Amino acid sequence: MKARLRAVPDREATPASRKASKQEAILREAASMFNEQGVGSVGFGDLARRMGVGRATFYHYVADREDLIFRCYQRSCEAETERLDLACEADAGLPQVLDFIRLSLSPEADQTALITDTGVLSDGPRTIIERARRRNYDRLAAMIGAGITAGNIRPCDEQLIARIVPSILAFSRLSHRWLPVRQAARNPDAIADFIEFGSAASRTQDFSLTKSADDFSRVTLAGFGDQKIADLKMEQILMKGSQLINRHGVANVSLEDVASALGATRGTVYHYFSDRDDLVRSCLERSYEIYDAFVDYALAHGRTGLEKAGIVSHLNAQAMVGSLQPVAGWMGLETLSQVSQKRAAKRMREVFARTQGLAEEGIRDGSRRQHDYKAVTLARAGAYLWIPKWIEDIDQPSPQKIADEIVTLFNLGLAVTTRR
């Protein structure tokens, strides 16, 4: 479908309209930079250089950096609400959801900021953004529920799916941070097709996994009895640091915060990590080691390419909901040195290459249908890597239930029938 967003009507220029137009240009450029580089690495000076103006110019339109981020996020919420409005013009249920997906991957959507880190906002602005996001989640959930009632969407937990689908879309938009060619993972039709029908070649392929992601704790894998106390303490710090970073963002977590959350002294944490960058690098490396362990397990225990991919996805989802919680691979890259950024991005690409290999195996062995697996493999990782952004909305979240919902979506999509 052709993406369509309402145009602003022509009007005679007035001082107020000129100011609004300039403010819109600032927010649009800031959103682009946030999406390219991450919120934590973009300041007024960076934006001023991009736009060719002095820093003082911005104070005519926004109060400070926090106000700039808040206005960008508010603009994103309003744009998402408009996309939901436009999607409502389609038939109820699945057609509306698919329209929303395509609109969310349109060039117009790229002009809005991805809401990656509300932790940079103070309580008042953050509450406004989180309420707006929940309203949009609820509207999407209502669309999904209407589809279940109408019989064009299979039974599912609509509140979970209403968060998982936007997470996939957001991660698709972030793909350029790791891929040399941005468009390689930007195939809106392929992603819509995947969410509609899933990847399984047959709907009769049952999947279940009782293995717990907590079994992959590095403390457990190393053999608790033989583990040095120093290594155990370091792992505890990394686990808590990863949880805090996933929830609040790198910019809002200090070594003191980690010490407080652990009930440890400041000196205990500084004994193992010299600064926040050192902690973030170690958290990222821990996450890649855990991801690799998941793939190794899938290779050893899965029977088909589809089943192996399902095992990896299930374990990843469990881990992000539960206590293991590796830091989301995309979190904090912009805060690291250029050398560390390149290493982290390289490790992330290596992990994705392994999971992409499982998709290729599934197509070869016939367990997975023919589709654009490259676009899908990268985008769908957002389903679990984005979990920390919305998990607090869910009462008593179950790692097993959320992982089951994600893998069922990956395999079967939302439709009640297979692709013809």
Is residue 321 within 8 Å of residue 212, measured between CB atoms?
no
Does residue 368 sit in helix, strand or coil?
Answer: strand
In angstroms, the CA 75 to CA 249 distance is 21
pLDDT 10s digits, 11-51: 566 877 888 899 999 999 999 999 888 887 888 999 999 99
Please determine, for residue 333, whether its predicted confidence score (pLDDT) is greater than 80: no
* End-to-end C-alpha distance for the chain, whole angstroms: 19
Mean pLDDT confidence for 242-249: 87
Residues 350-381, buried b or exposed e (16+ Cβ, 10 A)?
ebbebbbbbbebbbeeebbbebebbbbbbbbb
pLDDT band at 180 (very low <50, low <70, confident <90, very high): low
Please determine, for residue 117, whether its predicted confidence score (pLDDT) is greater than 60: yes
In angstroms, the CA 41 to CA 46 distance is 9
Confidence (pLDDT) at 270? 93
Q: How much is the mean pLDDT over the chain?
A: 89
Is residue 239 within 8 Å of residue 325, measured between CB atoms?
yes
Most trustworthy range by pLDDT among 215-219, 283-287, 303-307: 303-307
Q: Which domains does the chain have, with CATH numbers?
A: 19-153 (1.10.357.10), 213-368 (1.10.357.10)
DSSP designation for 386: T
pLDDT 10s digits, 148-171: 999 999 999 999 999 999 999 998
pLDDT 10s digits, 366-390: 999 999 888 898 889 999 999 998 9
Q: How far is CA 240 from the centre of its chain?
A: 20
Of 409, 411, 399, 372, which Cα lies nearest the Cα of 189? Answer: 372
DSSP designation for 200: B
* 188-197 helix and 94-104 helix, angle to the nearest 10 degrees: 150
Confidence (pLDDT) at 9? 53
Q: How far is CA 224 from the centre of its chain?
A: 33
Cα torsion at 165, 212, 238, 341 (round to 10°)? -40
Please determine, for residue 3, whether its predicted confidence score (pLDDT) is greater than 50: no
Half-sphere exposure of 363 (CA within 13 A, CB side): 11
Could you tell me if residue 188 is left (phi over 0), alpha (psi between -120 and 50 degrees) or otherwise beta?
Answer: alpha
pLDDT band at 332 (very low <50, low <70, confident <90, very high): low
pLDDT 10s digits, 61-107: 999 999 999 999 999 999 999 999 999 999 999 999 999 999 999 99
Q: List the alpha helices (DSSP H) in 251-398.
A: 255-262, 266-272, 276-301, 305-321, 338-365, 373-380, 382-385
Backbone angles phi, psi at 321, to 5 degrees: -85, -35
- Residue 257's Cβ-count burial label (10 Å; 0-12, 13-18, 19+) is middle
